[in-house]
């Protein structure tokens, strides 16, 4: 499965569970960690967990399991699918860590281009 196909499944699953502020960060030129980071917001810890569970369910139907899971029931769940990393966060965590600005200001890595 390509990173683009994974990305589309993640976005559809997040949208299906009414995640807010769904953002895709293309980080291919900035890091070798992943091709895309997906950030989305849930309005409660339960909503965050439900969104993360739905994404995992949809990808597992295509035989894609996360390499790593972190943050269950903390207001910020991270699922690492290798080339797509998913961050499902409550609004407070999202504003505090501001990953969008962090990665927007990161310089491209000349070794990746």
- pLDDT reported for residue 87: 97
Residue 43 belongs to some domain of the structure: yes
CATH number, domain with residue 78:
3.30.460.10
With tokens 């989305």, the residue in question is 40
Cβ partners under 8 Å of residue 34, min gap 6: 27, 80, 82, 83, 84, 85
* Domain ranges, residue 8: 3-104
The pLDDT tens digits for 3-44 are 999 999 999 999 999 999 999 999 999 999 999 999 999 999
Share of the chain above pLDDT 90, in %: 81
Residue 80 belongs to some domain of the structure: yes
The model's pTM is 0.92
Number of domains in the chain: 1
Question: Does position 73 have pLDDT exceeding 90, yes or no?
Answer: no
Backbone angles phi, psi at 6, to 5 degrees: -60, -45
Residue 88 belongs to some domain of the structure: yes
Residue 110 belongs to some domain of the structure: no
């Amino acid at each position: 499965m390509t990173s683009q196909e994974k990305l589309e499944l993640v976005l559809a699953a997040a949208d299906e569970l009414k995640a807010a502020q769904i953002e895709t960060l293309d980080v291919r030129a900035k890091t070798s960690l992943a091709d895309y980071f997906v950030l989305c917001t849930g309005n409660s810890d339960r909503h965050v967990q439900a969104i993360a569970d739905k994404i995992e369910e949809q990808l597992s139907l295509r035989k894609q399991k996360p390499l790593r899971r972190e943050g269950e029931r903390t207001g910020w769940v991270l699922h690492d699918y290798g080339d797509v990393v998913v961050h499902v966060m409550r609004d407070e965590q999202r504003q505090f860590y501001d990953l969008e600005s962090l990665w927007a200001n990161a310089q491209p890595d000349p070794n990746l281009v």
